[in-house]
């Protein structure tokens, strides 16, 4: 809401158990209507979060709703990109980040009070992927207890952060640092290894274009005049494109010459994956990740966590 808007009347704010039911309803009845219902779901989820904020409620219902809202955003990102329908990735990510920040604050509070939340590691892992180059997240994760730091999802998220750390990454306000890895091959390989759950893969998909761009950019720096164009098969295999058409439109966007026997990377002249004043490149997804999704029900993915009701030692279930 606008900053100037009056706070809602107490009678208009839904109590926690109703908010849980509202979210249940969205999951059971509206998720199946994606991608058409994206805007509506986005809006309803935001208002659930707002109602928790208005009453400053940080109990188990708030944890539960925020966790499931994060999962829904992740699910939606993949579904929308796959569908090709218009949607705002930036708005989706904004709400996702807010939920993750709320969660990390609650997890800290619960821990300071001597409790533990059963799904914390999963969401700490998403946090590591949400600001994938922000060292603050690495500082914090190293301070958390072993059961979080050594959790496999957290460890996998850390691996992806390393693959993508990349000393050649260039964006306004970002300071490049020494001796980073740019392990684009591993980025795709680990995504497709079967060790990364669908929701995490969906999050990782938002970086596909950028990983491919910096792979091409650094590859182009290693080529010399005698280098032959790179075959489409090679590009497809190494940078995990779904089809040749995808490669062509990618090259088109970054003004890379496509010639008879492949693509001529030496013609790539952009320094950053973001081209100022042009529309961003269409988001990408991987067929592998889509197959992962086809094997599960939406509700099942979203409701996959453990109950939060016993996270605090002195809170008794209602």
Partner 1 sequence: MQYSLAIFFQELSDGSFECLSLDLESNGERISMLQEELCRRFKKDKALEKLVETQAFAFHGKSEWTRFNIMVVSFLKYCRDVNPWSLLESYDLIFNFYTDLVNCLLNDSYPIDKLVPITKEMTDYVVPVACKLDNNYELLNTRRFQFLSYVSSVVSKLFNSTKPLRNLDDHEGFVEKPHFQQLPGKQKILLYLVNKLNNIYFRIHSPQLCSNIFKNFKPKCMIYRFGEYPVQERIEFHYLLGRYYLLNNNVLNAYRQLDRSFELLSHVASTLNLSLESMQPLRSNLQRILKYLVPAGLIIGKLPRFWVVGEVDQQLAHQYAAVARAVRAGNLKGVNEWLQEHESALRRSHLLLTLLEKLPVLAYRYLVRAVVQGYTMELSSSRVPYAVVRRAVELSTGPGPGAEARLTIYNAVHSAANVEAMLVDLINLNLFRGNCFPMLETCVVRKTTDVSQVFPSVPEKVVAMFPLNGDDAWLDE
| Residue 104 found at the interface with partner 1 (CB under 8 A) | no
224 versus 314: smaller Cβ distance to partner 1: 224
Q: Which of 21, 131, 221, 271 binds partner 1 (CB under 8 A)?
A: 221
User: Minimum distance from CB of 140 to partner 1 (Å)?
Assistant: 8
Q: Which of 28, 43, 94, 138 binds partner 1 (CB under 8 A)?
A: 138
**Distance (Å, rounded) from C-alpha 191 to C-alpha 212?**
14
Residues between 162 and 201 with contacts to partner 1, criterion CB under 8 A: 162-163, 165, 167-168, 175-186, 189-190, 195
| Residue 231 found at the interface with partner 1 (CB under 8 A) | yes
| Residue 230 found at the interface with partner 1 (CB under 8 A) | yes
165 versus 304: smaller Cβ distance to partner 1: 165
User: Minimum distance from CB of 248 to partner 1 (Å)?
Assistant: 19
**Distance (Å, rounded) from C-alpha 316 to C-alpha 318?**
6
User: Minimum distance from CB of 167 to partner 1 (Å)?
Assistant: 6
Return phi, psi of residue 259, to 5°: -115, 180
User: Minimum distance from CB of 144 to partner 1 (Å)?
Assistant: 9
Question: CB-based contacts of 8: which residues, under 8 Å, 6+ apart?
Answer: 54
| Residue 271 found at the interface with partner 1 (CB under 8 A) | no
| Residue 215 found at the interface with partner 1 (CB under 8 A) | yes
51 versus 120: smaller Cβ distance to partner 1: 120
User: Minimum distance from CB of 163 to partner 1 (Å)?
Assistant: 7
| Residue 234 found at the interface with partner 1 (CB under 8 A) | yes
User: Minimum distance from CB of 194 to partner 1 (Å)?
Assistant: 9
Q: Which of 5, 7, 9, 136 binds partner 1 (CB under 8 A)?
A: 136
Tokens of 45: 């989820």
**Distance (Å, rounded) from C-alpha 12 to C-alpha 281?**
41
Q: Which stretch binds partner 1 (CB under 8 A): 36-44, 52-60, 64-72, 152-160?
A: 152-160
In degrees to the nearest 10, what's the CA dihedral of 33, 292, 235, 126?
A: 80
User: Minimum distance from CB of 18 to partner 1 (Å)?
Assistant: 30
Residues near partner 1, by CB under 8 A: 112, 135-136, 138-139, 141-143, 149-150, 152, 155-156, 158-159, 162-163, 165, 167-168, 175-186, 189-190, 195, 215, 218-219, 221-224, 226-228, 230-231, 234, 238
């Amino acid at each position: 809401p606008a900053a100037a808007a009056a706070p809602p009347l107490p009678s208009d704010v839904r109590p926690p158990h109703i908010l849980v039911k509202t979210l249940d309803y969205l999951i059971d009845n509206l998720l199946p209507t994606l991608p058409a219902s994206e805007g509506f779901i986005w809006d309803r989820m935001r208002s659930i979060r707002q109602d928790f904020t208005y009453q400053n409620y940080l109990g188990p219902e708030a944890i539960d709703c925020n966790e499931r809202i994060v999962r829904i955003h992740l699910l939606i990102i993949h579904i929308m990109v796959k569908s090709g329908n218009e949607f705002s990735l930036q708005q989706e990510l904004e709400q996702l980040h807010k939920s993750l920040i709320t969660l990390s604050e609650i997890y800290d509070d619960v821990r300071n009070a001597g409790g533990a939340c059963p799904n914390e590691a999963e969401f700490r892992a998403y946090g590591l992927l949400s600001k994938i180059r922000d060292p603050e997240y690495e500082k914090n994760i190293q301070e958390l207890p072993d059961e979080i730091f050594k959790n496999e999802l957290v460890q996998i998220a850390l691996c992806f952060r390393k693959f993508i750390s990349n000393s050649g990454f260039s964006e306004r306000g970002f300071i490049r640092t020494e001796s980073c890895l740019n392990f684009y091959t591993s980025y795709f390989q680990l995504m497709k290894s079967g060790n990364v759950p669908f929701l995490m893969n969906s999050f990782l998909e938002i970086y596909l274009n950028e990983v491919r761009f910096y792979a091409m950019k650094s590859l182009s720096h290693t080529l010399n005049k005698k280098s032959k164009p790179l075959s489409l098969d090679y590009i497809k295999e190494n940078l995990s494109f779904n089809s040749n058409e995808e490669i062509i439109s990618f090259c088109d966007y970054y003004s890379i010459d496509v010639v008879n026997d492949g693509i001529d990377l030496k013609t790539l002249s952009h320094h950053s994956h973001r081209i100022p004043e042009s529309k961003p490149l269409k988001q990408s997804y991987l067929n592998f990740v889509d197959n992962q999704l086809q094997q599960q029900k939406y509700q099942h993915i979203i409701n996959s966590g453990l109950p939060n009701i016993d996270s605090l030692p002195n809170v008794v279930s209602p």
